[in-house]
A and B are shown apart, each in its own frame.
Chain A
Amino acid sequence: MSGRRDKRTTVLSVLAVVLPLALSLVALNVGAYRIPPQAVFTTVAEAVFPGGDGSGPSPYADILFRVRLPRLLLALFAGAALAVSGASLQALFRNPLVFEFSLGISNGAAFGAALSLVFLGRGFPPQPAAFVFALLAVLLVVAIAGRSASQVVTILLAGVIVSALFQALLSLVEVFANPYALQSLVFWLMGSLGQATWKDLAVTLPVIGAGVTVLILMRWRLNVLSLGEEEARSLGLDTTRDKIAVIALAALVTAGATAVMGVVSWVGLIVPHLVRMAVGADNRKVVPLSAGYGAALLLLADTIARGAAPFEIPVGILTSVVGIPFFIVLLKKSGRIWL
């Protein structure tokens, strides 16, 4: 039986790398502007091995490298970020139903971006403010939980409170926004990867890359942390420091993604859960595999979101349509694990 498990793990590990790559190839070929696969190949080849005649701005190159490629990379990175963040938070809070949403991170980022869009106006990108407020949200959660921060329930309750707080603040911003800024804001909140340019990604991708890497490095430590505060401490861990590190990293990568694409949810819940069902709970496997499958899932969702109809379906709606029923099923089945 263990042999079968190991084999399954190997296959899934390979797939976790192959699937995002394969989907990337597909995504490069999908779009409203028809580019024959051969042209995709030659355009990419020419970019990698320059030697072309440089005959003016070719729409193929523009579309592939300025429109599809940044969007593709964002989907991969953001998907990995959300999935890894979800897996880490679930281990830390010993609850498979926790994800970045529960700590107010998503709403904090949304509020920060809103504030920036409304008061700093069109010239200023919303990303830095989203960062700042996502981290602020987590600090608030820790502060509210206070001395009982070690209690699982307290952190979750504090997360709910902070989420609600930022939601209310967001509504307040909408009330005071002039109608022009409100337009951009409402549009951004729907959650779409289509607005990202290379300028946005120049900051977001490295941040997500670094954060996800560190979380993957800490994957075994998550096993120990998932035993609970007392036991982890008895085994020699500085639980306070480790918890803060994990939460801050999860907040960082989530904010990085949210700042550029708006609120896209449920990836951090669905992917780690499916991975655990397939390979078991050991975070040495769960965290890296979540990164790969999270990237694949968001890329798939986004490719559908832009390919299915001439108008854009906000990708957050797609992930919700899948995620919410999933969540309900999990709630009903996980009787003894749920609080």
Chain B
Amino acid sequence: MNPARTARTAALLAWIALAVLRFPAPVGAAGQVPAPTTVVDSLNRSVSVPGKIGRIISLEPEITRIIVALGAGDRLVGIDYFLKHHDHLFPLVFPEGLKLPLVSNQAQDLSLEEAVRLHPDVVFASPSEFRMAESIERKLAVPVVALASMGRFAGLIGEIETLGRILGREERAAELVAFFQERLRALDRSASPDPPGERPSVYLAFWNSLVRTPVSYEPVDAAGGRNAASGVLPEYLGAAGATISIETLIAWDPEVILVQGNYPPEERRVSVGTVLRDPRLASLRAVRSGRVHYTFGFWYWWDPALVLVETVYLSGLLRPGAPAGPGLVATGDVIFKEFYGVEGAFSALCRILDCHEWTAR
């Protein structure tokens, strides 16, 4: 619905401009080349990208997903290693993307040869390696924009808006952001106000380990919980992982333990079962009361739709008094449809990750 509308608007404006400026009308009303856009990326670099982007390479799954959600998935000319080989979500929401040529290796390093062959207009990369963005830019003479949410909603929203600007999909971006924020507000409204002191403490066992945890993970905060590990590392590091000792975990005695669950079950070294059965943790409140659950988690990048579903799910877990709405699976499907325009994507994901038990509420 959007590309046609944009084209008509552009044509109208061009016609008016011509009328005012008395230039001979060019054939094809939308033929004017838009001015380049300048954006500031997550590394605080000022990058100038062409006004019209037709060919995109994205090395970051999070960015690729947002591009698809913005409706610009057809402009992707390559796919990164993780999405091609290890992602369960991508085949559900953008299966045609899997046919794209592979542009990176296991370490998410860009294959320069492939990049040259595909001649993108812009490359999106992770900001975790500063030099990488610079070096790709130098070698390809193509603008490189480094973006990541770093485990923060503000970051995610900023990403969506920036990408919207770069790709000329500002309206769609605004739609998504509004949807996202409205859903979060709805969660807030439906919850009884928790005085900060009474928020349940939550420990996140992520990255397939009992002792690695992100010190800041916004879905937990938005869902009414308090990250037990907050303060271990400086806040500005966002969802960086800290390694603690088992004893620290026992000392924190969280009320709830969340285990990262977007690993396929056979790959999980830490599961709800292993936590409940671990003799060292027998005295923890969370273990004794059985409040050990899976959550989707953060694999160094998010899926914008899934993180929203996760927040809804956690809200149900951490604020049991909230009024019942549509079940989680139904809600998830709605959210995925809004982002990606596909039906039943969340249900399909649940089957793959075996999460029907934990999303049954």
Contacts and interface: CB of A to CB of B under 8 A. Distances in A.
> A–B direct touch, CB within 8 Å, in complex?
yes
Interface of A: 31-34, 57-59, 62-63, 66-68, 121-122, 174-181, 183-184, 187, 192, 194, 197, 306, 310-312, 314
Contacts of A192: 243
Interface size class of B (residues with CB under 8 A): 20 to 34
Indicate the member of B247, B251, B269 with the most A CB atoms within 10 Å.
B247
Contacts of B198: none
B279 A187 contact: no
Given A57-B283, A121-B267, A311-B244, A179 B86 contact: yes
B246 A67 contact: yes
The 4 A-B residue pairs with the shortest CB-CB distance, nearest first, are A32-B248, A122-B269, A33-B251, A59-B283
Contact of A62 (B105, B233, B283): B283
Contact of B242 (A68, A306, A311): A311
Indicate the member of B232, B267, B281 with the most A CB atoms within 10 Å.
B267
B211 interface: yes
Interface string B225-258: 0000001110000000011111110110000000
Contacts of A311: 232-233, 242-244, 248
B251 to A, nearest CB: 4
A30 to B, nearest CB: 9
B243 A180 contact: no
B339 interface: no
What DSSP secondary structure best describes chain B's contact surface?
loop
A33 B250 contact: yes
Contact of B211 (A58, A175, A180, A312): A312
A176 B107 CA distance: 10
B82 interface: yes
Given A181-B267, A311-B233, A62 B211 contact: no
B245 A312 contact: yes
Contact of A178 (B86, B233, B243): B86
A32 B86 CA distance: 37
Interface in B9-40: none
Nearest to B280: A66
Given A181-B267, A183-B208, A175 B279 contact: no
Contact of B247 (A33, A58, A187): A33
Nearest to A68: B247
A310 B208 contact: no
Given A175-B106, A306-B245, A312-B243, A63 B250 contact: yes
A66 B279 contact: yes
A180 B267 contact: yes
Interface in B170-226: 207-209, 211-212
Nearest to B262: A180
A59 B267 CA distance: 30
Interface in B269-301: 269, 279-283, 299
Contacts of B105: 175
B250 A194 contact: no
A32 B247 contact: yes
A68 B105 CA distance: 41
Contact of A179 (B82, B248, B279): B82
B82 to A, nearest CB: 7
Contacts of A312: 211, 243-245
B282 A62 contact: yes
Contacts of B106: 174-177, 179
Given A59-B283, A62-B283, A183 B245 contact: no
Contacts of B266: 121
B268 interface: yes
B263 interface: yes
B282 A310 contact: no
Nearest to B267: A180
Contacts of A183: 207-209
Indicate the member of A178, A181, A183 with the most B CB atoms within 10 Å.
A183
A269 B297 CA distance: 42
A136 B71 CA distance: 55
A66 B278 CA distance: 10
Contacts of A176: 106
A197 B281 CA distance: 12
Nearest to A117: B269
Given A62-B279, A178-B86, A310 B248 contact: yes
Contacts of B247: 31-33, 63, 67-68, 306
B96 to A, nearest CB: 23
Contacts of B267: 121-122, 178, 180-181
15 contacts: A31-B251, A32-B244, A33-B247, A33-B250, A33-B251, A57-B283, A58-B283, A59-B250, A62-B281, A67-B246, A179-B82, A192-B243, A306-B245, A310-B231, A312-B243
B245 A62 contact: no
A67 B86 contact: no
Contacts of A175: 105-106
Given A66-B280, A122-B269, A184 B242 contact: no
Contacts of B207: 183, 187
Nearest to B270: A122
B198 to A, nearest CB: 23
A137 B250 CA distance: 39
